[in-house]
Amino acid sequence: MKGTNLGEFEELVLLTIAALAAEAYSVAICDELERYTGRSAKLGVVHAVLNRLEEKGLAKSHLGDASATRGGKRKRFYEVTHAGKVALMRAKELREAIWRNIPGFNLEGSI
Amino acid sequence: MNKDPQPPQWATAFLRWYCRPRLLEDLEGDLYEYFIRNVRRKGLRYARLVYWLDVIKFLRPYTIRKIEPLTFLTQFMMIGSYFKTSRRNLVRNKLFSFINVVGLAVSMSVGLLVIAIVNDLLSYDDFHEKKDRIYRVITHHQNDGQTPMDLASTSVRTAQRLAGDVPGVENFTMLRNGFSGDAKVGQNTFPLEATWADRSFFKVFTFPLVAGDPATALQQPYSLVLTEKTAKRLFGSTQVLGKTVRFDTLDYQITGVARDIQTLSHIHFDALLSFASWDATIGKKQDELYNWDNVWSNYTYITLAKNGSTAGVQRALSQISSEENKALVRKKVTLSLQPLKDIALGRKLSNNMGPRMEPTTLWILAGLAFVIILSACFNYTNLSVARSLRRSREVGVRKIIGARRSHVLGQFMTEAVLISFLALVFSFGLYLVLRREFLALDPHIPEIFKLNLSVRSVLSFIALAIITGLVAGFLPAVFFSKINALSAMKDASGLRIFRHIGLRRVLIVAQYTLSLVFIATTLAGYSQYKGFLNFDLGFTTENILNIKLNGADAAALKKELSEIPEVSKISQSSMVTSLGSMYGFDVKYRPNASTPGDSALVWVNTVDENYLPIHQHKLISGSNFTLRPEKGKESELIVNQQVLKRFNIGGRDPQKALGHVLKVDGQDLTIIGVMKDFHYGTVENKIEPVMFRYSQSEPWGYLNLKIASTDLASTMTKIESAWKRFDKIHPLKANFYNDQIEDAYSRFSMMIKVIGFLAFLAICIASLGLFGMVVFTTETKLKEISIRKVLGASEPGLVYLLCRGFITLLAVAALIALPATYLLFDKVLLTGFAYHQPISIPEMLGGALIVMLLALVMIGSQTARAARSNPAKVLKSE
């Protein structure tokens, strides 16, 4: 099926959702990503990715409770679905399998 | 609000407009969060800018709202339901429906008439096969030092030049008006007016021939083409091909019979003579008629070749003009093209043929119709909003069941359109009546308009109904669609139905202002018109009958007429003054031989010695004509005071002016009398220098009969029989001077009739609307009235309470309308008249008073009824 594989940024966002657990909504995800990567994560980009992840069925969302801080607007909280978890695991395993096959990989030596 | 910085409203509105509902709420929250952050970090301005940019950046395929076919589909499916509820509402609120349908129907009938008129004007000359390729050659005539003239006519020379093969011109034809003669057929003689046309006339225009060959009919000299009507008049049949008609000494052969001309044609003729006959008769004698600058009586039309362009022909015409202009001194004549379809609705040209309506007149007419329709729309708006209390429940239920705003909007729009269609049916009936009245308004109107139905006019009628419905229904629909479902269901009285009272007040004031302006204009205009008719012209027109001579010698007729005892005196004149037509001569005055002299245009009437006494012109000095010279040998002149003033003759002293000589038309004429100034033109013109010359015989002028009779009808028959004995061919053309003056101002009486009719409509519509408003307001306030009554309020007090608001509105309307009308007359309408009555304030006030009284009666009767109601009955039902 088209779209089941995970892009690099998608993987990062999905991981962040998982990491943030109950606090995973768009602005928090942006902040967290910025903190991890050191690069600025634009809301526009993240929003689009979140939307895509949801479309692919890797994440799901629900609206939280209203709070006065956001002009009375509710937050949309994301969580990783089962399919999302599987995709994350698979991506991780894939990488590790390749890592394992690298003979005598020496980080210091190569630099 | 002031505490927290807010993101730009427009940006949020934009976001809400485009964003999918599912994504909207949290996205809006996200953006707000970033906005607050930016405000803290970089300040408000920066934050607002970023917010705007973000909103725009989020405009992406996945955020944009999908067009929801379902909403449209439900609108479509619901139309049946809308019809049903609309119908029920119409039936349930009979008064409401009645007021609206009648108001809209009455106003729309005027709209229909305007549409029919415009439609007729747009259909002019549509029957020509080549209508899109026919152009009229028009002339710009410029004399040095004079205002230039634009003429519909051209010179014969133009046609001669066009014959020299101009690229892009497929064909051209030339017409000349003005043939008038007595046609002899066997023993009978008929007066006949005809038009000369050259041989390609039938190639350019589509006037089908029932007999004869269109290609050759107008080729030979002395060829004649009759219309069927003329053929029947002359011969009693249309089988006349090859027969001859004699004019004076010349025999014309009939070479064709044309089908009668439709009304909607700018070219009309009873008969056509071949242009070759003009060449052989009139043209032969007068060479100057072929001159390039003799542009007064010919009309030239071209058909453009299928692949030709107007620009190309125009270039050729400019080329011809500049070549021919070389021969002219201090004068320039330039030609240009005018499309056939622009003639009936085009710009003003001198010597125009056929009817023409100024687009401005049309706009004014359409504007008046629009204003009247708008007034009826106000009624609908007003009453719908006033009734909102009753219908808000319905809207509430609809909304709770799932109607969107757009659905409610659609429903109320449908309802309004439905009502306006119902009104269209009635208004069409009214239109048929109105059409008949309009065509009877003036004898010339049926010659110009047919006002028949066509596909275009019917479609326009329907479009008018739809637009009217949408305009009328727009405000109520918006109002209802905004109703909050919950508050409508919870407590109807919580609905602020009086919130829109301001709007309703404005609409009522607007309606009444309009009505008052109309009625005041009508009455003030009517008194002005009466003033024109009874204006002191400086001479008498009482009991004077003007008989038009038709080229006949007057002496014999005079003898015949003077035998009638009721005719007390007879005089002669070349024209009838004060009706608008004017004739003038350049007059030169030299006080003494050493000065160069001064010349000016002086208006003239040629009269005999009886003219002054019959018309009671007052001589200030000198005497009436004493000599009785032959034509061309006159030496006497009577002038008015303005002539003395203009030339400064004898120090402007009437006594000293006698004996001075003026050079008129190459003759030296001595002033023998000075008469008091009188109105030679209409009251639109200032009094200018006028002179009376003497003439015993004016074959193309008038006889002025002073009638002293108690039985006008029998006198008229006597005059008629005297005329018949004298001239068997031409019918008698006799009119009383006063009737002629009335005729000269007939367009004003027509205008007053039209405005008066519109005033009547406007008042009807405004009254209906006010009536409805009063009924609904008193109904909603019934409980209040009852409680007040129980607590001891008196009936007059209650009536006053209910009326107060409306009376204030009427007073405001009057305060706006009356000064506005006064200014309208003072600054616009009466500026075109050199002399007029003072604007009659009492009439304007009277008109306003009638309207006010009408309104007061309506308000009073309704409020009194409410005030009399039994409080026990009203309060019991709660």
Residue in A48, A71, A74 closest to B60 by CB? A48
Q: What angle do CA A88, A93, A99 make, to 5 degrees?
A: 130
SS3 content of chain A, % helix, strand, coil (to 5): 60, 15, 25
The contacts of residue B281 (CB under 8 Å, 6+ apart) are B250
For residues B99 and B379, give the distance between their C-alpha atoms in angstroms, rounded to a whole number: 8
Q: Among all residues of chain A, which has the CA nearest to that of B26? A: A75
Mutate to test the interface with B, among A56, A73, A78 (most CBs of B within 10 A): A73
Q: What is the pLDDT of residues B306-339, one digit of tens each?
A: 888 889 899 999 999 998 888 888 888 899 999 9
Residue in A43, A44, A74 closest to B25 by CB? A74
Is residue B69, in this structure, part of any structural domain at all? no
Question: In whole angstroms, how far apart are CA B790 and each of B782, B865, B868?
Answer: 12, 16, 12
A47 vs B32: CB contact, 8 Å cut-off? no
Is residue B455, in this structure, part of any structural domain at all? yes
Which residue, B642, B560, B558, is CA-closest to B601?
B642
B32 vs A70: CB contact, 8 Å cut-off? yes
For residues B92 and B115, give the distance between their C-alpha atoms in angstroms, rounded to a whole number: 34
Residue in A43, A48, A63 closest to B62 by CB? A48
Assess whether pLDDT exceeds 50 at residue B2.
no
Residue in A48, A69, A73 closest to B26 by CB? A73
- B213/B305 same-domain check: yes
- B221/B267 same-domain check: yes
A73 vs B54: CB contact, 8 Å cut-off? no
Write the DSSP string, B451-494.
Answer: ----HHHHHHHHHHHHHHHHHHHHHHHHHHHT--HHHHHH-GGG
- B586/B685 same-domain check: yes
Residue in B29, B36, B58 closest to A44 by CB? B58
- B332/B374 same-domain check: no
Which DSSP state fits B869?
Answer: S
For residues B419 and B468, give the distance between their C-alpha atoms in angstroms, rounded to a whole number: 10
The contacts of residue B36 (CB under 8 Å, 6+ apart) are A69, B5, B47
Q: What is the pLDDT of residue A107?
A: 60
Q: Identify all chain A residues contacting B32, using CB atoms and an 8 Å cutoff.
A: 70-71, 73
User: Residue B702 is encoded by which pair of tokens?
Assistant: 């008038």
Write the DSSP string, B51-79.
Answer: HHHHHHHT--TTTBPPP-HHHHHHHHHHH
Q: What is the pLDDT of residue B691?
A: 92
Q: Among all residues of chain B, which has the CA nearest to that of A64? A: B26
B26 vs A74: CB contact, 8 Å cut-off? yes
Phi, psi (deg, nearest 5) at residue A16: -65, -40
The contacts of residue B64 (CB under 8 Å, 6+ apart) are B18, B19, B20
Burial of A24 (0-12, 13-18, 19+ CB in 10 A): buried
Neighbours of B318 (CB within 10 A): 13
Mutate to test the interface with B, among A23, A26, A30 (most CBs of B within 10 A): A26
Q: Among all residues of chain A, which has the CA nearest to that of B63? A: A48
For residues B251 and B243, give the distance between their C-alpha atoms in angstroms, rounded to a whole number: 10
DSSP reduced 3-state for B699 = coil
When mean pLDDT is compared across A24-38, B69-83, B142-156, B760-774, the lowest value belongs to: B69-83
Q: Identify all chain A residues contacting B23, using CB atoms and an 8 Å cutoff.
A: 51
B26 vs A27: CB contact, 8 Å cut-off? no
Residue in B29, B36, B62 closest to A75 by CB? B29
Q: What is the pLDDT of residues B236-249, one digit of tens each?
A: 888 898 899 998 88
A48 vs B28: CB contact, 8 Å cut-off? no
Q: What is the pLDDT of residues A14-68, one digit of tens each?
A: 999 999 888 889 899 999 999 888 888 888 889 999 998 998 889 999 888 877 7
For residues B522 and B526, give the distance between their C-alpha atoms in angstroms, rounded to a whole number: 6
Q: Among all residues of chain B, which has the CA nearest to that of A45? A: B58
If one compares B461 and A41, the residue with the highest pLDDT of the two is B461
Q: Among all residues of chain B, which has the CA nearest to that of A49? A: B62
DSSP reduced 3-state for A64 = strand
Q: Identify all chain A residues contacting B58, using CB atoms and an 8 Å cutoff.
A: 44, 47
Q: Identify all chain A residues contacting B27, using CB atoms and an 8 Å cutoff.
A: 47
Q: What is the pLDDT of residue B181?
A: 85
- Band (pLDDT 50/70/90 cuts) for residue B228 is very high
Contacting A with CB below 8 Å, chain B residues are 23, 25-34, 36, 54, 57-58, 60, 62
- B214/B320 same-domain check: yes
Assess whether pLDDT exceeds 90 at residue B877.
no
Residue in A63, A70, A74 closest to B33 by CB? A70
- Band (pLDDT 50/70/90 cuts) for residue B795 is confident
Q: What is the pLDDT of residue A111?
A: 44
Q: What is the pLDDT of residues B536-574, one digit of tens each?
A: 888 998 889 999 887 777 788 888 888 888 888 899 898
- B337/B365 same-domain check: no
Assess whether pLDDT exceeds 80 at residue B696.
no
For residues B661 and B664, give the distance between their C-alpha atoms in angstroms, rounded to a whole number: 9
For residues B343 and B267, give the distance between their C-alpha atoms in angstroms, rounded to a whole number: 11
Residue in A51, A71, A76 closest to B32 by CB? A71
Minimal Cα–Cα distance from A79 to chain B, Å? 16
Cα Rg of chain B, angstroms: 37
A27 vs B33: CB contact, 8 Å cut-off? yes
Domain ranges of chain A: 8-96
Q: What is the pLDDT of residues B26-71, one digit of tens each?
A: 888 888 888 988 898 888 889 999 999 988 888 888 888 777 666 6
| CATH top class, domain A8-96 | mainly alpha
Residue in A44, A63, A69 closest to B26 by CB? A63
- B751/B704 same-domain check: no
If one compares B67 and B141, the residue with the highest pLDDT of the two is B141
Please state the domain count of chain B: 4
Q: What is the pLDDT of residue B20?
A: 85
Minimal Cα–Cα distance from B36 to chain A, Å? 9
Q: Identify all chain A residues contacting B36, using CB atoms and an 8 Å cutoff.
A: 69
Structural domain containing residue B199:
134-342
Q: Identify all chain B residues contacting A75, using CB atoms and an 8 Å cutoff.
A: 26, 29
C-alpha B806, offset from chain centre: 35
- B215/B331 same-domain check: yes
Give B587-635 as a 3 state SS string.
Answer: EEECCCCCCCCEEEEEEEEEECCCHHHHHCCCEEEECCCCCCCCCCCCC
DSSP-H helix ranges across B727-781: 737-744, 746-780
- B333/B374 same-domain check: no
Q: Among all residues of chain B, which has the CA nearest to that of A69? A: B33
Mutate to test the interface with B, among A27, A46, A53, A75 (most CBs of B within 10 A): A27
For residues B719 and B706, give the distance between their C-alpha atoms in angstroms, rounded to a whole number: 12
Minimal Cα–Cα distance from A109 to chain B, Å? 45
Q: Among all residues of chain A, which has the CA nearest to that of B56? A: A44
When mean pLDDT is compared across A43-47, B258-262, B355-359, B551-555, the lowest value belongs to: B551-555
For residues B797 and B788, give the distance between their C-alpha atoms in angstroms, rounded to a whole number: 10
Residue in B25, B30, B58 closest to A27 by CB? B30
Q: What is the pLDDT of residue B1?
A: 40
Question: In whole angstroms, how far apart are CA B718 and each of A83, B567, B582, B723?
Answer: 117, 10, 32, 9
Is residue B80, in this structure, part of any structural domain at all? no
Question: In whole angstroms, how far apart are CA B471 and each of B381, B465, B478?
Answer: 9, 10, 12
- B694/B837 same-domain check: no
Contacting B with CB below 8 Å, chain A residues are 25-27, 43-44, 47-48, 51, 63, 69-71, 73-76
Across the A:B interface, residue pairs with CB atoms under 8 Å apart total 43
Neighbours of B141 (CB within 10 A): 19
Instruction: Tell me what the pLDDT averaged over chain B comes to.
Output: 86
- B431/B392 same-domain check: yes
- Prediction ipTM score: 0.88
**Domain final residue pick, B312, B342, B372:** B342
B34 vs A43: CB contact, 8 Å cut-off? yes
Say if residues B376 and B430 touch (Cβ distance below 8 Å): no
Minimal Cα–Cα distance from A85 to chain B, Å? 24
Handedness of CA B468, B469, B473, B474 (dihedral sign): negative
Mutate to test the interface with A, among B19, B33, B57, B59 (most CBs of A within 10 A): B33
Minimal Cα–Cα distance from A64 to chain B, Å? 9
- B188/B312 same-domain check: yes
Q: Identify all chain B residues contacting A63, using CB atoms and an 8 Å cutoff.
A: 25-26
The contacts of residue B672 (CB under 8 Å, 6+ apart) are B622, B623, B625, B626, B636, B637, B638, B658
Q: Identify all chain A residues contacting B25, using CB atoms and an 8 Å cutoff.
A: 63, 73-74, 76
Minimal Cα–Cα distance from A1 to chain B, Å? 21
Q: Identify all chain B residues contacting A27, using CB atoms and an 8 Å cutoff.
A: 30, 33-34
Q: Among all residues of chain A, which has the CA nearest to that of B28? A: A73
Write the DSSP string, B167-180.
Answer: TTEEEEEEEEEEEE
Instruction: Show contacts of A28-36: CB within 8 Å, 24+ apart.
Output: A29/A78, A36/A12
Q: What is the pLDDT of residue B479?
A: 84
Is residue B555, in this structure, part of any structural domain at all? no
B26 vs A69: CB contact, 8 Å cut-off? no
Mean pLDDT over residues B88-96, rounded? 86
B26 vs A26: CB contact, 8 Å cut-off? yes
Minimal Cα–Cα distance from B30 to chain A, Å? 6
